[in-house]
Amino acid sequence: MGSEAHIVLGIETSCDETAVALVTSDRDILAERIASQEEEHAPYGGVVPEIAARAHAERLAPMLEGVMEDAGLALADVDAIAATAGPGLIGGVMVGLVSGKALAMAANKPLLAINHLEGHALSPRLADEALEFPYLLLLVSGGHCQILAVEGVGQYRRLATTIDDALGEAFDKTAKILGLGYPGGPAVEKLARKGDPKAVPLPRPLKGSKEPHFSFAGLKSAVLRAHESGEHTDADIAASFQQAAVDCLIDRLSMALNEAGPFPALVVAGGVAANQSVRGALDALAAQHSMRFVAPPLKLCTDNAAMIAWAGCERLAIEPDLAGDPLDIKARPRWPLDPEAEKVRGAGVKA
Taking CB under 5 A as the criterion, the residue among 13, 18, 24, 141 binding Zn ion is: 141
CB of 228 to ligand KG4, least distance (A): 22
Euclidean distance between CA atoms 155 and 157, whole angstroms: 7
119 binds, among Zn ion, ligand KG4, none (CB under 5 to 8 A by kind): none
Stretches 29-37, 63-71, 189-197, 295-303: which one binds Zn ion (CB under 5 A)? 295-303
Q: How far is the CB of 32 from Zn ion (least distance, A)?
A: 16
- Residue 220, by phi and psi: left (phi above 0), alpha (psi -120 to 50) or beta? alpha
Yes or no: say if 70 and 64 are a contact pair by the CB < 8 Å rule.
no
CB of 43 to ligand KG4, least distance (A): 17
Site string for Zn ion, 254-293 (x = CB under 5 A): ----------------------------------------
Q: Pick the closer one to ligand KG4 by CB: 24 or 174.
A: 174
Contact criterion met (CB below 8 Å) for 10 and 68: no
Dihedral, CA of residue 250, residue 255, residue 258 and residue 264, to nearest 10:
-40
Distance CA 293, CA 305 (A): 24
* Residues 316, 330: Cα–Cα separation, whole Å: 19
DSSP string across 275-315 = -HHHHHHHHHHHHHTT-EEE---HHHHSS-SHHHHHHHHHH
- Residue 12 interacts with Zn ion (CB under 5 A): yes or no: no
Q: Judged by CB, which is closer to ligand KG4: 160, or 272? A: 272
Nearer to ligand KG4, 86 or 142 (CB): 142
Q: Maximum distance among all alpha carbons in the chain?
A: 64
Residues 6+ away with beta carbon under 8 Å from 130:
none
Q: Of 166 and 202, which CB lies nearer to Zn ion in the complex structure? A: 166
Q: How far is the CB of 122 from ligand KG4 (least distance, A)?
A: 14
CB of 167 to Zn ion, least distance (A): 12
Residue placing its CB nearer to ligand KG4 in the complex, 36 or 221? 36
Q: What are phi and psi of 31, to 5 degrees?
A: -165, 150
Provide the terminal-to-terminal Cα distance of the chain, rounded to the nearest Å: 37
Question: Whose Cβ is closer to ligand KG4: residue 141's or residue 161's?
Answer: 141
Our CB check for ligand KG4 shows the closer of 13 and 275 to be 275
Count of beta carbons in the 10 Å neighbourhood of residue 270: 27
**Applying CB under 6 A, which residues contact ligand KG4?**
15, 141-143, 168, 171-172, 183-186, 189, 270-272, 274-275, 302-303
Q: Kindly tell me which residue out of 79, 234, 303, 314 binds Zn ion, with binding defined by CB under 5 A.
A: 303
79 binds, among Zn ion, ligand KG4, none (CB under 5 to 8 A by kind): none
Footprint on this chain of Zn ion (rule: CB under 5 A):
141, 303
